[in-house]
Amino acid sequence: MVKGKKLTDHERGQTEAFYSTGMSSRTIAIKIGRSKTVVNNFLKLKDNYGKKNTGERLKALSSRDERRVCRLASTGKYSTRKLIQTTGLNVCQITMYNTIRRSGSYIYTAKLAKPRLLQRHKVERLNFSQQVMTWDNQWIQTIFSDEKKWNSDGPDRWKYYWLKRQIGGGSVITSGCFAYNGVGSIAFVSDKMNSQTYQIALASHLLPNAEFLAGENWKYQQDNAPFHSSNNTKNWFQVNNAETLK
**Are 123 and 236 in a shared domain?**
yes
Predicted local distance difference test score (pLDDT) of residue 167: 46
**Are 178 and 209 in a shared domain?**
yes
Asked if pLDDT for residue 160 goes beyond 60, the answer is no
3-state helix, strand, coil in the chain (%, to 5): 45, 15, 40
Task: Tell me the pLDDT band of 189, cut-offs 50, 70 and 90.
Answer: confident
Please write the tens of the pLDDT for every residue from 80-111: 888 888 888 888 888 888 887 777 666 565 55
147 forms beta bridges with 175
Asked if pLDDT for residue 203 goes beyond 50, the answer is yes
Q: CATH number, domain at 182?
A: 3.30.420.10
Please write the tens of the pLDDT for every residue from 32-65: 999 998 898 888 887 777 766 545 566 778 888 8
**Are 140 and 226 in a shared domain?**
yes
**Are 221 and 140 in a shared domain?**
yes
**Are 43 and 79 in a shared domain?**
no
Q: From CA 132, how far away is CA 84, in angstroms rounded?
A: 49
Is 108 within the bounds of a domain?
no
Task: Tell me the pLDDT band of 238, cut-offs 50, 70 and 90.
Answer: very high
Asked if pLDDT for residue 179 goes beyond 50, the answer is yes
Predicted local distance difference test score (pLDDT) of residue 204: 93
Predicted local distance difference test score (pLDDT) of residue 58: 63
**Are 32 and 88 in a shared domain?**
no
Average pLDDT over residues 145-150: 88
Q: CATH number, domain at 94?
A: 1.10.10
Q: Per the structure, how many domains does the chain have?
A: 3
> What is the percentage of the chain residues whose pLDDT exceeds 90?
37
Mean pLDDT, the chain, rounded, equals: 82
Q: From CA 234, how far away is CA 228, in angstroms rounded?
A: 8
Least confident of 62-66, 176-180, 213-217, 232-236: 62-66
Least confident of 50-59, 99-108, 146-155, 206-215: 50-59
Predicted local distance difference test score (pLDDT) of residue 107: 59
For strands 187-189 and 182-183, give the pairing: unpaired
Is 188 within the bounds of a domain?
yes
**Are 154 and 232 in a shared domain?**
yes
**Are 126 and 201 in a shared domain?**
yes
**Are 43 and 135 in a shared domain?**
no
Task: Tell me the pLDDT band of 158, cut-offs 50, 70 and 90.
Answer: very low
70 forms beta bridges with none
The interaxial angle of helices 63-73 and 80-87, nearest 10 deg, is 130
**Are 176 and 87 in a shared domain?**
no
**Which residue range(s) make up the domain with 37?**
9-48
Least confident of 14-23, 75-84, 170-179, 235-244: 75-84
Asked if pLDDT for residue 154 goes beyond 80, the answer is no
**Are 123 and 16 in a shared domain?**
no
Is 3 within the bounds of a domain?
no
Local structure of residue 110 (DSSP, 8 states): P
Least confident of 68-72, 98-102, 230-234: 98-102
